[in-house]
């Protein structure tokens, strides 16, 4: 596992001055985005290891790691919703509306794995498997690629930009002013592509 993964440390910068309910939601959101980064790294490592592995442990662990990856997506979505509730900003509301449909396949995958006992009762052969950058379960395909993770990290970076970029007067930008700005880049997460195709 890559213990030197680039992760976000933006929430700590917002501790001073941010209302507690906003900071808490941002801090937890960041924790789950970072956990998703770490989990996808574990998944990709397991995939690469399994390619030359004849046992089952690595593949068994892969299913658990995938499950937590999808849980991280679900929690990130819920925490973004919480931020919209505690920090009434039309830009956050717009981001939340656009992000909900992006999360649906990740939520569906989490739901399948949350109820794997029920899925097994219907079809004992249905335990899921990986094919390239896709997790297949119950006849559905779920993205476990770096580009899938990028959807989550891009959302987080947009949240940080919305919460932190203000006018020199300290006032928030209007949605129109915000749209006209070029967002400063935060540190991006890049994962090496899987060796298995």
DSSP codes joined into one string, the chain: --TT------GGGGTTTS-HHHHHHHHHHHHHHHHHHHHHHHHHHHHHHHHT--SSHHHHHHHHHHHHHHHHHHHHHHHHHHHHHHS--HHHHHHHHHHHHHHHHHHHHHHHHHTHHHHHHH-TT---EEETTEEEETTEEEE-SHHHHHHHHHHHHHHHHHHH-B-TTSPBPPHHHHHHSPPPP-PPP--PPPS--
State the pLDDT at residue 196: 57
State the pLDDT at residue 186: 56
Within a domain: 103: yes
How far, CA to CA in Å, does 62 sit from each of 16, 66, 68, 82, 151? 39, 6, 10, 30, 21
pTM: 0.79
Percent of the chain with pLDDT over 90: 39
The pLDDT tens digits of the residues spanning 87-122 come to: 888 889 999 999 999 999 999 999 888 887 776 667
Average pLDDT over all residues of the chain: 80
Domain that holds residue 141: 18-164
Within a domain: 7: no
Within a domain: 179: no
User: Whose CA is closest to 193, among 15, 55, 45, 89?
Assistant: 45
48, β-bridge pairs: none
Which one has a higher pLDDT value, 194 or 13? 13
Within a domain: 180: no
Within a domain: 158: yes
Within a domain: 41: yes
**Predicted confidence (pLDDT) at residue 50 exceeds the cutoff of 80:** no
State the pLDDT at residue 64: 86
State the pLDDT at residue 63: 82
Q: Each residue of 70-93: b (16+ CB within 10 Å) or e?
A: bbbbbbbbbbbebbbeebebebbe
Within a domain: 104: yes
Within a domain: 175: no
State the pLDDT at residue 188: 53
The count of structural domains within the chain is 1
pLDDT-based confidence at 1, cuts 50/70/90? very low
User: Average pLDDT for residues 39-45, to the nearest whole number?
Assistant: 88
């Amino acid at each position: 596992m890559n213990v030197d993964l680039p992760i976000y440390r933006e929430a700590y910068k917002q501790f001073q001055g941010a209302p507690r309910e906003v900071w808490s939601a941002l801090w937890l959101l960041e924790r789950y985005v970072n956990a998703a980064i770490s989990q996808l790294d574990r998944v990709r490592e397991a995939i690469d290891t399994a390619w030359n592995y004849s046992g089952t442990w690595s593949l068994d662990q892969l299913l658990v790691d995938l499950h937590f990856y999808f849980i991280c997506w679900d929690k990130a979505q819920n925490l973004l919703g919480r931020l919209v509730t505690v920090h009434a900003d039309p830009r956050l509301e717009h981001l939340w509306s656009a992000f909900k449909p992006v999360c649906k396949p990740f939520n569906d995958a989490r739901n399948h794995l949350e109820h794997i006992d029920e899925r097994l009762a219907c079809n004992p052969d249905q335990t899921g498997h990986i094919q390239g950058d896709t997790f297949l379960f119950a006849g559905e395909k779920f993205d476990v690629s770096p580009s899938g993770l990028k959807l989550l990290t891009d959302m987080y970076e947009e949240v940080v930009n919305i919460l932190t970029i203000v006018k020199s007067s300290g006032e928030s930008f209007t949605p129109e002013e915000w749209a006209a700005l070029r967002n400063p880049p935060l540190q991006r997460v890049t994962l090496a592509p899987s060796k298995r195709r």
